[in-house]
């Protein structure tokens, strides 16, 4: 059976909610960052799938995906810099320990 | 044409003095500030005299009529193409006369203060305030624009406030300066509204244009101003009457006179300058400045001027007979004499022979400045010697203060209207003007002139004759004589003025329409006032020359009247009653309650509500990143649902 649009959308949705679940339940910042990557990749899958099945002769979805991958790389660099700084000041990368910024 | 630099320098030199002494006096000119003030003012006075000479004898007169010249004029605030507030200088007979009077009397006071205020802690401050006052007063009289007048009007008010409160460590002086400021400020409200009404109807603030538009028969401005009325009185009459109220406040006219006697708390030279010779006549000057409008377009307001003037003159003269503080006697006599000037304007007509009252009023203003400044400076010399204001502490001082004695006598004779001293001529003209126009006012004025002679000589005899002054009775032992050259020179110069000023043919220079007014002198007419004056003098002599108990007996036999006059007709008490009992209880307290409970309550309610709400919802901001992510997700899902199902 040839995989159709719905299969890919299903995988993408699963990937998205796995990412959301990971983001909410994990306390380790690195793991949370990884969850965000999952969410981003599910979006990328969506773009690619729609591009391939609905407008096969256009390239917009593809470009968008490449763009998102580039952004995600930059975002990971920034996030890791933040995490390193957090570790230097708190000796931990647990979000539970970094909640001074409140009311 | 006039030299504009010279004219501009007349008020600007005192301003320079104020800035110099006010900013740097304490540091650099501690000893020399007096000399600096005197030199600047001397220059100002000489320039004023130079301008007066030029105006009256060279360029002022065109075809036998003195012109209103505006040598300096520039636009200061322009509201629209036609309406703007200009700053300018006007030269006409009264303003030129006033700059001479103001700068001359101010110069005398500056010189006198060199000795009188010597050794004061705040000597430079005193001189800077004097310069500020002189600047404001010169600016006031030279204003070509009614709004400019108002600015300087407040300027003299402020400097008067500062100088009355010069001894700020005395509670009475503090109370007096506040009283003076509040009362005159209250009256100035009338002035301001008057300005607004007049400028609204005439469409200009410039004196010349305003007078022309509001007096020219048939002009549109005049028609609308007369046609619109409020409470049965035309808007124009309201306008000028309100302007007059401002003038009455500054000139201490009944019933706004209560501040003047208290203002005597200031240093005596200040009283001589501000509260006798110059500032208090600003009201008279203002009415004279707008006189054509009063006389031609609002005769009802002119009647108001006349009656307020005569009531003040009579009331003040009666009160002056009973006061024992020499400066207060002089204060009431000032009020009485200003009353004379006011009703002289009030009975006057405009133009030609009818304008006699106007000329007489300005003439009296001129001579009064001389002899009243002299009286105050003489009183200052006495106070300097005795260290007290009370008449009962004095007596027999003619041996100790010979020059003061002679000059004081000259001033008393001048104010009593005895020929050939200055007051005689001006008072005769005033009485003549009253005689020709209003017999009631004439008879009251005549009586008051007798009373004037009486109370002035009561003062004179009590100070210089009566019992012998014993310096050992006083606690301050060391006497330094009459105060030296600096104090005697102004007295002598002013005495010359008080003697000779009457011989100036005043009608030639100052008249209501600028043309020459020949003052006629009727010998038969003068007999009655002079006789009354002499009766006043001899009565005072009989009662006060030698120490006796006749004054007390008379006071006892007239106990009710005496007490009423001594307590100044209870006007102060009436004001206190009205302010404290009526205004405070009926208006201020409910207003305060409303403000505290309703207005503040509303504000507090909003504040408290906001605070309570934020107190309750602040926990949302917990600092936990994942909690924020949940809010975010929930909100996104909510929005998605909203857009998908409701947003069609």
**B34, B116, B261, B396, B484 from B480: Cα distances, Å:** 20, 11, 28, 17, 8
Residue range B401-411: average pLDDT? 85
- Asked if residue B475 has pLDDT above 50, the reply is no
Enumerate the domain spans of chain A: 5-102
Residue range B280-292: average pLDDT? 88
Strand B233-234 and strand B61-62: the pairing is unpaired
Domain A5-102 maps to which CATH number in 3.40.50.1110, 3.40.50.1360, 1.10.287.3510, 1.10.3720.10?
Answer: 1.10.287.3510
* Closest CB to B633 among A20, A96, A101: A20
For chain B, what percent of residues have pLDDT higher than 70?
97
Read off the pLDDT band of B613 (50, 70, 90).
very high
- Asked if residue B527 has pLDDT above 90, the reply is no
- Asked if residue B474 has pLDDT above 60, the reply is no
Give kind and range of the element (H or E) at residue B85: strand B84-91
What is residue B35's predicted lDDT score, i.e. its pLDDT? 86
* Closest CB to B625 among A20, A95, A103: A95
* Better pLDDT: B434 or A9: A9
* Closest CB to B618 among A23, A100, A103: A103
Task: Write the pLDDT tens digit of every residue in B479-493.
Answer: 556 667 788 888 888
Min mean pLDDT across B2-16, B44-58, B73-87 is at B73-87
Cis peptide before B255 (omega within 30 of 0): yes
> Which conformational region is residue B89 in: left (phi greater than 0), alpha (psi within -120 to 50 degrees), or beta?
beta
Residue range B82-93: average pLDDT? 83
* Better pLDDT: B597 or B204: B597
Q: Which residues contact A62 (CB under 8 A, 6 or more apart)?
A: A47, A48, A51
**B128, B251, B327, B329 from B174: Cα distances, Å:** 19, 21, 17, 21
**B241, B428, B526, B528, B603 from B522: Cα distances, Å:** 34, 9, 7, 11, 74
B624 touches chain A (CB under 8 A): yes
What is residue A64's predicted lDDT score, i.e. its pLDDT? 92
* Closest CB to B623 among A23, A24, A101: A101
- Asked if residue B520 has pLDDT above 90, the reply is no
Task: Write the pLDDT tens digit of every residue in B596-608.
Answer: 999 999 999 999 9
What is residue B521's predicted lDDT score, i.e. its pLDDT? 67
What is residue A39's predicted lDDT score, i.e. its pLDDT? 93
Read off the pLDDT band of B82 (50, 70, 90).
confident
What is residue B544's predicted lDDT score, i.e. its pLDDT? 77
* CB atoms A24 and B619 under 8 Å: no
Read off the pLDDT band of A12 (50, 70, 90).
very high
Which of B616, B624, B635 should we substitute to test contact with A (largest number of A Cβ atoms within 10 Å)? B624
What is residue B471's predicted lDDT score, i.e. its pLDDT? 57
For chain B, what percent of residues have pLDDT higher than 90?
8
Alpha carbon B445 to chain centroid, angstroms: 22
- All residues of chain A having their beta carbon less than 8 Å from the beta carbon of residue B625 are 95, 98-99
What is residue B125's predicted lDDT score, i.e. its pLDDT? 87
- Asked if residue B401 has pLDDT above 60, the reply is yes
Strand B69-78 and strand B65-66: the pairing is unpaired
pTM: 0.77
* CB atoms A99 and B622 under 8 Å: yes
Alpha carbon B206 to chain centroid, angstroms: 22
ipTM of the complex: 0.85
The residue of chain A with its CA nearest to that of B615 is A103
Distance CA A28, CA B8 (A): 83
Read off the pLDDT band of B4 (50, 70, 90).
confident
Question: Are residues B201 and B236 in contact, defined by beta-carbon separation less than 8 angstroms?
Answer: yes
B629 touches chain A (CB under 8 A): yes
Task: Write the pLDDT tens digit of every residue in B88-131.
Answer: 888 888 888 888 989 999 998 888 888 888 877 888 888 888 89
What is residue B469's predicted lDDT score, i.e. its pLDDT? 64
Alpha carbon B355 to chain centroid, angstroms: 24
Residue range A22-40: average pLDDT? 92
Question: Are residues A93 and A68 in contact, defined by beta-carbon separation less than 8 angstroms?
Answer: no
Residue range B439-455: average pLDDT? 87
> A41: how many CB neighbours lie within 10 A of its CB?
18
The residue of chain A with its CA nearest to that of B617 is A103
Average pLDDT over chain B reads: 84
A2 touches chain B (CB under 8 A): no
What is residue B470's predicted lDDT score, i.e. its pLDDT? 61
Average pLDDT over chain A reads: 90
- Asked if residue B565 has pLDDT above 90, the reply is no
What is residue B535's predicted lDDT score, i.e. its pLDDT? 86
* CB atoms A102 and B622 under 8 Å: yes
Read off the pLDDT band of B64 (50, 70, 90).
confident
**B3, B280, B352, B512, B555 from B509: Cα distances, Å:** 20, 23, 13, 10, 46
Min mean pLDDT across B106-115, B231-240, B543-552 is at B543-552
What is residue B477's predicted lDDT score, i.e. its pLDDT? 47
Upper half-sphere CA count for residue A34 (Cβ side, 13 Å) = 9
- Asked if residue B516 has pLDDT above 80, the reply is no
Alpha helices, DSSP H, located in B348-401: 356-386
Distance from CA of B620 to the nearest CA of A (A): 9
What is residue A33's predicted lDDT score, i.e. its pLDDT? 92
* CB atoms A100 and B629 under 8 Å: no
Tell me the range of B120-134, B316-330, B584-598, B600-614 where mean pLDDT is highest. Answer: B600-614
- Number of CB pairs, chain A paired with chain B, less than 8 A apart: 25
Cis peptide before A4 (omega within 30 of 0): no
**B90, B403, B465, B549 from B399: Cα distances, Å:** 48, 10, 9, 24
Distance from CA of B182 to the nearest CA of A (A): 52
> B468: how many CB neighbours lie within 10 A of its CB?
10
- Asked if residue B201 has pLDDT above 60, the reply is yes
């Amino acid at each position: 059976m040839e995989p159709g649009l719905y299969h890919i959308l299903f995988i993408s949705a699963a990937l998205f909610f796995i990412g959301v679940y990971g983001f909410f339940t994990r306390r380790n910042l690195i793991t949370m960052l990884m969850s965000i990557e999952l969410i981003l990749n599910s979006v990328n899958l969506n773009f690619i799938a729609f591009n391939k099945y609905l407008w096969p002769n256009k390239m917009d979805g593809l470009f968008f995906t490449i763009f998102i991958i580039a952004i995600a790389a930059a975002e990971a660099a920034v996030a890791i810099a933040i995490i390193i700084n957090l570790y230097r000041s708190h000796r931990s990368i647990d979000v539970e320990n970094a909640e001074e910024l409140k009311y | 044409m006039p030299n504009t630099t010279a004219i501009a320098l007349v008020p600007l030199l005192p301003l320079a003095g104020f800035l110099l002494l006010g900013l740097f006096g304490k540091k650099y000119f501690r000893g020399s500030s007096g000399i600096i003030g005197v030199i600047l003012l001397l220059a100002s006075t000489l320039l004023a005299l130079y301008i007066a000479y030029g105006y009256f004898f060279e360029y002022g007169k065109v075809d036998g009529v003195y012109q209103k010249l505006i040598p300096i004029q520039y636009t200061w605030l322009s509201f629209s193409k036609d309406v703007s507030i200009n700053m300018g200088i006007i030269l006409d007979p009264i303003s030129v006369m006033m700059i001479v009077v103001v700068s001359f009397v101010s110069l005398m006071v500056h010189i006198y203060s060199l000795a009188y205020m010597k050794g004061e802690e705040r000597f430079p401050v005193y001189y800077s305030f004097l310069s500020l006052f002189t600047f404001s007063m010169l600016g006031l009289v030279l204003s070509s624009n009614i709004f400019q007048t108002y600015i300087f009007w407040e300027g003299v008010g402020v400097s008067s406030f500062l100088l009355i409160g010069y001894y700020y460590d005395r509670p009475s002086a503090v109370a007096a300066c506040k009283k003076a400021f509040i009362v005159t400020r209250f009256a100035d409200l009338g002035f301001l509204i008057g300005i607004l009404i007049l400028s609204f109807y005439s469409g200009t603030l410039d004196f010349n244009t305003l007078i022309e538009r509001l007096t020219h028969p048939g002009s549109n401005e005049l028609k609308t101003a007369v046609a619109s009325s409020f409470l049965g009185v035309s808007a124009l009459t309201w306008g000028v009457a309100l302007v007059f109220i401002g003038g009455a406040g500054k000139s201490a006219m009944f019933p706004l006179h209560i501040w003047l006697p208290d203002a005597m708390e200031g240093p005596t030279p200040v009283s001589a300058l501000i509260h006798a010779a110059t500032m208090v006549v600003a009201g008279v000057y203002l009415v004279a400045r707008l006189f054509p409008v009063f006389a031609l377009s609002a005769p009802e307001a002119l009647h108001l001027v006349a009656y307020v003037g005569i009531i003040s003159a009579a009331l003040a003269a009666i009160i002056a007979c009973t006061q024992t503080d020499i400066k207060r006697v002089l204060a009431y006599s000032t009020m009485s004499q200003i009353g004379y000037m006011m009703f002289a304007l009030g009975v006057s007509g405009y133009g030609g022979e009818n304008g006699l009252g106007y000329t007489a009023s300005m003439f009296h203003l001129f001579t009064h400045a001389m002899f009243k400044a002299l009286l105050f400076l003489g009183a200052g010399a006495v106070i300097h010697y005795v260290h007290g204001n009370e008449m009962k502490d004095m007596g027999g001082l003619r041996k100790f203060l010979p020059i003061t004695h002679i000059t004081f006598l000259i001033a008393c004779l001048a104010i009593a209207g005895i020929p050939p001293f200055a007051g005689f001529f001006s008072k005769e003209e005033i009485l003549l003007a009253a005689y020709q126009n209003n017999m009631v006012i004439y008879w009251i004025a005549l009586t008051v002139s007798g009373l004037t002679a009486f109370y002035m000589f009561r003062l004179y005899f009590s100070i210089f004759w009566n019992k012998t002054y014993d310096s050992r009775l006083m606690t301050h032992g060391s006497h330094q004589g009459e105060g030296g050259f600096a104090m005697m020179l102004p007295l002598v110069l002013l005495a010359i003025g008080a003697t000779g000023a009457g011989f100036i043919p005043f009608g030639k220079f100052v008249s209501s329409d600028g043309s020459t007014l020949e003052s006629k002198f009727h010998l038969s007419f003068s007999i009655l006032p002079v006789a009354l004056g002499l009766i006043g003098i001899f009565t005072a002599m009989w009662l006060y020359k030698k120490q006796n108990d006749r004054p007390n007996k008379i006071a006892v036999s007239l106990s009710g009247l005496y007490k009423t006059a001594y307590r100044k007709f209870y006007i102060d008490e009436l004001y206190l009653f009205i302010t404290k009992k009526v205004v405070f209880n009926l208006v201020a307290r409910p207003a305060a309650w409303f403000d505290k409970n309703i207005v503040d309550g509303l504000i507090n309610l909003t504040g408290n509500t906001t605070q309570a709400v934020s107190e309750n919802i602040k926990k949302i901001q917990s600092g936990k990143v994942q909690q924020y992510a949940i809010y975010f997700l929930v909100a996104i899902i909510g929005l998605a649902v909203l857009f998908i199902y409701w947003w069609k």
